[in-house]
């Protein structure tokens, strides 16, 4: 897979703060491609992808209005590795195809692109990127935030965290690491620091 100039990756563990970092990067002028948003579009009501998911998992994963019950599907796949792999084989190639299509548009507009993806390393997508920034967080804080965000118990949160590549492994493969164990201002300062150091020189042609 050929590395694409001006396309960067942004990843991290679940509830580590990828979205918060993406917002800051967008404020600084980055072109953001959000794989979670692409995923939601792919499985929208009436879509072909949703029909194929229903064929695999049954209509019980739908609300009565035909929309996907994301919480129910999430519970199913995080408790069953085989089910999770089936879903990933169906959805992730489509997500990455759209993500790189959108990223190329951003590059054509002269932007620095960040593709935000929770499973970036798991799918080898870093091979097509200049660099990957990883959002890191202490595990106890990650569990606390995930429980609060998704209304989960601690065991449920741990199950979802353990279903992904560990943050230790992601940090080891990172080009840059953004610690998000502090407050919002500290996070903003770190992202701005990286932007000034790694991105601004290329924008100015230095």
Q: In CATH, what number is assigned to the domain containing residue 37?
A: 3.40.50.300
Query: Scanning the structure block, which residue is given the tokens 């990286």?
Result: 194
Residue 105: inside a domain: yes
SS3 63: coil
Residue 87: inside a domain: no
Contact 4, 129 (CB under 8 A): yes
Nearest to 138 by CA among 16, 43, 24: 16
- Residue 206, pLDDT above cutoff 60: no
Residue 174: inside a domain: yes
Residue 81: inside a domain: no
Residue 74: inside a domain: no
Query: Scanning the structure block, which residue is given the tokens 């943050």?
Result: 167
pLDDT tens, position by position, 46-74: 999 999 999 999 999 999 999 999 999 99
Alpha carbon of residue 103 to chain centroid? 14
Orientation angle between helical segments 70-78 and 48-57, nearest 10 degrees:
50
Domain carrying residue 194: 4-41+95-203
Tokens found for residue 94: 């489509």
pLDDT tens, position by position, 93-147: 999 999 999 999 999 999 999 999 999 999 999 999 999 999 999 999 999 999 9
Q: Which residues of 38-72 are buried (b: 16+ CB within 10 A; e: fewer)?
A: bbeebbeeeeebbeebbeebeeebbeeeeebeeee
pLDDT range class, residue 203, cuts 50, 70, 90 = confident
Nearest to 30 by CA among 160, 159, 198: 198
pTM strictly above 0.85? yes
Tokens found for residue 84: 């999770």
Orientation angle between helical segments 70-78 and 154-162, nearest 10 degrees:
70
Residue 76: inside a domain: no
Return the pLDDT at 202: 84
Q: For the chain, what is the domain count?
A: 1
Residue 83: inside a domain: no
Report how far residue 183's alpha carbon sits from residue 20's, in angstroms, rounded to the nearest whole number. 11
- Looking at residues 14-32, what average pLDDT do you find? 98
26, 33, 56, 70, 106 from 128: Cα distances, Å: 21, 15, 31, 29, 15
Return the pLDDT at 73: 96
Nearest to 36 by CA among 91, 97, 118: 118
- Looking at residues 34-52, what average pLDDT do you find? 97
Q: How many residues does the chain have?
A: 206
Residue 35: inside a domain: yes
């Amino acid at each position: 897979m050929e590395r694409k100039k001006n396309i960067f990756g942004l990843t991290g563990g679940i509830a580590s703060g990828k979205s918060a970092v993406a917002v800051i990067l967008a404020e600084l002028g980055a072109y953001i491609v959000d794989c979670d948003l692409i995923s939601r579009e792919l499985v929208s009501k009436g879509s072909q992808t949703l029909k194929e998911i229903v064929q695999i998992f049954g209509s019980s994963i739908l609300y009565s209005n035909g929309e996907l019950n994301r919480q129910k599907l999430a519970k199913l796949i995080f408790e069953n590795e085989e089910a999770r792999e089936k879903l990933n084989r169906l959805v992730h190639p489509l997500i990455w195809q759209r993500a790189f299509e959108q990223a190329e548009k951003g590059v054509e507009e002269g932007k620095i692109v960040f593709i935000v993806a929770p499973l970036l390393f798991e799918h080898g997508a870093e091979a097509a990127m200049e660099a990957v920034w990883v959002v890191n967080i202490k595990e106890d804080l990650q569990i606390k935030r995930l429980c609060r965000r998704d209304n989960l118990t601690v065991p449920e949160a741990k199950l979802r965290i353990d279903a992904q590549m560990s943050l230790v492994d992601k940090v080891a493969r990172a080009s840059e690491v953004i610690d998000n164990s502090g407050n919002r201002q500290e996070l903003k300062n770190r992202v701005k620091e990286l932007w000034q150091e790694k991105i601004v020189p290329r924008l100015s042609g230095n």
